[in-house]
Every structure is written in structure tokens, then in C-alpha cells.
């Protein structure tokens, strides 16, 4: 039960203002989700052969520099890092599986929030306002961003249970609603090799998409099969490397509104999250249809 917001820029000139435009959108959804908040921002893409990870350690002053040096030595690769509060963005010129294996062997307490070429996921327990300010959201740059404010239903209020959930390389998902068949599905997905950090229903939706994409589905195919296999109520927004996708379940009770101008496409649970965007008065504003998905991607 939550608020969802997303902003995808069509006009490159606005990229240095992405965080500034997005922050009020996220904060306006505080009433829908006062428990935790998070966002996935896409930008600062690494070069071919490099991997970008967002890592989190529970301690603010964690020594990321040493970790980076160690991984560079161990995997004999180039590596770089920058930290933001207790989260770090690690860039390594190495294979993802090798990096994950090394991290879990040497720093099992470090959580990998995202992996890809462009994605960074930042999320935390608390009010959206505090999380925006903790990670200095307003100064961030990028091409697109999706965010979430959470009103926890059944699973615990934790950082791990916060959205967005990573669903594979440069992919993530945010959810508003409540799935009703996630427990059995989680067991099935575990047998397929998907791992879960929480009892959260939305994480199962994310894991489901990860599984379908691993099996070779396109995003479109994965979403089509999600409509058949997920039971309950959902509005999803999915961040992709080049854009984002929006989908509602066939009953379509959970709200969603989309807006498009020449400069951007924006998505939110409620119109008030869009009200601060420039040119919104003249935007095309509409609601997504049930059991239909909408994908915007730059090519």
C-alpha cells in the first residue's frame, strides 16, 4: 500500500535537474507511504565492460576505500567508488558473478541494492523527506528515476522491505497494491534459484520478473506472463536501463496517472505528485488501462 512516482526525461537538457524535479514528487506521496521510501535513478552510465553496483553497509563510516582496493586486487581489475551516506556506488571492470561471489565471501554484511550499467537504488526506513535529504536527491542528475513511498501491509518495516526492488541488471520494480499468491510463488521461484531478502509480496513480483528475464523473456513477455501468474491487486512501475514501464492488474483498483509533454513522461499514484512539474497544465494526462502495459524507452 503505497505511493509510486516516476519521471522519464525526453529532453536531455533537463538531465541535470532530474533530482530537483523529482524530489517534490516523492515527498508529495508521504501520506500514502510514511514507513519507508526509496528511488532508483538512472544516469552516469559506466563504459562497456564495467559494472556499477549500489552497496549498502549499516554503518555510515564504513571503509569503502579499502573494500574497493581489495576487490581490485582480488579480481585484478580497475575499480572506483563514491559514497552517499551509508551507501556506495562501486564501479568495477569485472564480471558481475565474480564481484557478487567475492563480496559475499568477504563482506557478507554488505548488501547489493542494485547492479547494472546505469542504475543506482537508494532506499531507507523513514519519511520520504528525510530520505531525500539523506541522499541529497535534489542535486542528482540522470535520465530517469522511479520512486516509492511505503505503507507496510504485512511484511516488516525495514530497509530490505523498502522499494525499489532490484529485478536484474539495470531493472527494478515498485509496487502499489497487495498480492494474494506470493507465498507459494516465492517457494517456486526459490526452486528456480531466485533469492529473497524479505517476506514482502512486492519482492516476489520483482523476483518473478527476474526469473522470466533470466529465462530469456523480453520485458514485454515477462510482463505478459506476470498478468497471468500474479494474483491480487497491483500497479507496477518498472525501471529499465533506457526508460520505464507501467502496468496495472486486470481489476485496476490501485490508482495510477500518467502525464506526457515534449520534455518528459511522468507517472504517479495521484495527480498531486505531478502538480509541481513544469508545463503540467498543458500535459496530456491520462490513466493506464487495466491489464495493459506502457513502456517508454530511449533507443
Partner 1 sequence: MNTFDLTNNTVTELNHALHAQKGNVSQADWTVTNPKGSHNLAVGLDEALNVDIHGHAGYFCAGMNKTANITVHGNVGQGVAENMMSGVVRVKGDASQAAGATAHGGLLVIEGNAGARCGISMKGIDIVVKGSVGHMSCFMGQSGSLVVCGDAGDALGDSLYEVHIYIKGEVKSLGADCIEKEMRDEHLTELAALLEKAGVDEDPASFKRYGSARELYTFKVDNASAY
Partner 2 sequence: MSNDTHNPSLRESATFDRSTMAEIRRAAETGIYDIRGFGAKRKLPHFDDLLFLGASMSRYPLEGYRETCNTSVTLGTRFAKKPIELDIPVTIAGMSFGALSANAKEALGRGASIAGTSTTTGDGGMTPEERGQSKKLVYQYLPSRYGMNPDDLRKADAIEVVLGQGAKPGGGGMLLGQKITDRVAKMRNLPKGIDQRSACRHPDWTGPDDLAIKILELREITDWQVPIYIKVGATRTYYDVKLAVKAGADVIVVDGMQGGTAATQDVFIEHVGIPTLAAIPQAVQALQEMGMHRKVQLIVSGGIRNGADVAKCMALGADAVAIGTAALVALGCNDPKWDDEFKKIGSAAGYYDDYQEGKDPAGISTQDPELMKRLDPVDAGRRLANYLRVLTLEAQTLARACGKNDLRNLEPEDLVALTVESAAMARVPLAGTSWVPGQQF
Piece in contact with partner 1 (CB under 8 A), picked from 94-102, 148-156, 228-236, 248-256: 248-256
User: Does 172 participate in catalysis according to the annotation?
Assistant: no
- Kindly state the smallest distance separating residue 45's Cβ from partner 1, in Å: 33
Piece in contact with partner 1 (CB under 8 A), picked from 152-160, 166-174, 191-199, 285-293: 285-293
Tell me the CA distances in angstroms from 142 to 8, 59, 112, 118, 203, one per residue in order: 9, 27, 21, 9, 25
Tell me the CA distances in angstroms from 157 to 132, 163, 232, one per residue in order: 18, 11, 21
CB 132 within 8 A of CB 55: no
Is residue 153 close enough to count as binding partner 2 by CB under 8 A? yes
- Ranges within 162-181 binding partner 2 (CB under 8 A): 176-178
- Kindly state the smallest distance separating residue 198's Cβ from partner 1, in Å: 30
Is residue 226 close enough to count as binding partner 1 by CB under 8 A? no
Piece in contact with partner 2 (CB under 8 A), picked from 8-16, 87-95, 152-160, 195-203: 152-160
What gap in Å lies between CA 108 and CA 140, rounded to an integer? 29
Please select the residue that binds partner 2; options are 111, 151, 227, 291, rule is CB under 8 A.
151
Q: Which residue lies nearer to partner 1 by CB, 28 or 36?
A: 28
Please select the residue that binds partner 1; options are 257, 258, 265, 266, rule is CB under 8 A.
257
Is residue 258 close enough to count as binding partner 1 by CB under 8 A? no
- Ranges within 262-281 binding partner 1 (CB under 8 A): 270-276, 281
Among partner 2, partner 1, none, the one that 287 touches (CB under a kind-dependent 5 to 8 A) is partner 1
End-to-end CA distance of the chain: 33
Is residue 38 close enough to count as binding partner 2 by CB under 8 A? no
Q: Which residue lies nearer to partner 2 by CB, 86 or 176?
A: 176
Please select the residue that binds partner 1; options are 221, 287, 297, 298, rule is CB under 8 A.
287
Please select the residue that binds partner 2; options are 253, 278, 287, 290, rule is CB under 8 A.
253
- Ranges within 227-246 binding partner 2 (CB under 8 A): 233
> Using alpha carbons only, what angle is made at residue 93 by residues 88 and 97, rounded to the nearest 5 degrees?
80
Is residue 34 close enough to count as binding partner 2 by CB under 8 A? yes
Active site residues: 2
Residues near partner 2 (CB under 8 A):
1-3, 31-34, 151-154, 176-178, 233, 253-255, 269
Query: Where does this chain bind partner 1 (CB under 8 A)?
Result: 252-253, 255, 257, 270-276, 281, 285-287, 289-290
Amino acid at each position: 500500500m503505497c505511493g509510486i512516482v516516476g519521471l522519464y526525461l525526453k529532453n536531455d537538457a533537463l538531465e541535470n535537474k532530474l533530482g530537483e524535479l523529482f524530489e517534490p514528487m516523492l515527498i508529495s506521496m508521504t501520506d500514502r507511504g510514511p514507513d519507508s521510501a526509496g528511488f532508483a535513478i538512472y544516469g552516469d552510465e559506466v563504459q562497456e565492460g564495467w559494472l556499477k553496483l549500489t552497496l549498502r553497509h549499516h554503518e555510515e563510516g564504513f571503509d569503502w576505500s579499502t573494500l574497493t582496493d581489495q576487490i581490485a586486487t582480488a579480481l585484478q581489475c580497475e575499480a572506483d567508488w563514491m559514497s552517499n551516506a551509508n551507501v556506495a556506488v562501486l564501479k568495477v571492470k569485472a564480471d558481475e558473478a565474480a564481484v557478487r561471489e567475492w563480496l559475499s565471501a568477504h563482506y557478507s554484511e554488505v548488501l547489493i541494492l542494485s547492479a547494472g550499467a546505469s542504475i543506482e537504488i537508494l532506499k531507507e526506513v523513514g519519511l520520504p523527506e528525510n530520505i531525500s535529504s539523506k541522499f541529497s536527491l535534489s542535486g542528482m542528475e540522470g535520465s530517469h528515476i522511479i520512486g516509492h513511498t511505503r505503507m507496510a501491509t504485512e511484511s516488516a518495516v525495514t530497509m530490505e522491505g523498502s522499494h525499489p526492488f532490484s529485478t536484474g541488471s539495470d531493472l527494478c520494480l515498485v509496487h502499489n497494491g497487495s498480492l494474494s499468491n506470493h507465498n507459494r510463488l516465492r517457494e517456486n521461484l526459490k526452486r528456480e534459484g531466485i533469492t529473497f531478502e524479505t517476506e514482502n509480496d512486492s519482492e516476489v513480483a520483482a523476483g518473478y520478473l527476474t526469473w522470466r528475464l533470466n529465462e530469456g523473456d523480453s520485458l514485454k513477455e515477462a510482463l505478459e506472463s506476470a498478468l497471468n501468474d500474479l494474483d491480487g491487486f497491483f500497479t507496477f512501475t518498472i525501471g529499465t536501463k533506457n526508460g520505464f514501464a507501467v502496468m496495472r492488474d486486470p481489476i485496476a483498483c490501485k490508482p495510477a496517472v500518467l502525464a506526457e509533454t515534449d520534455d518528459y513522461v511522468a507517472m504517479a499514484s495521484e495527480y498531486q505528485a505531478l502538480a509541481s512539474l513544469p508545463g503540467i497544465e498543458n500535459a496530456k494526462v491520462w490513466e493506464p488501462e487495466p491489464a495493459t502495459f506502457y513502456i517508454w524507452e530511449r533507443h
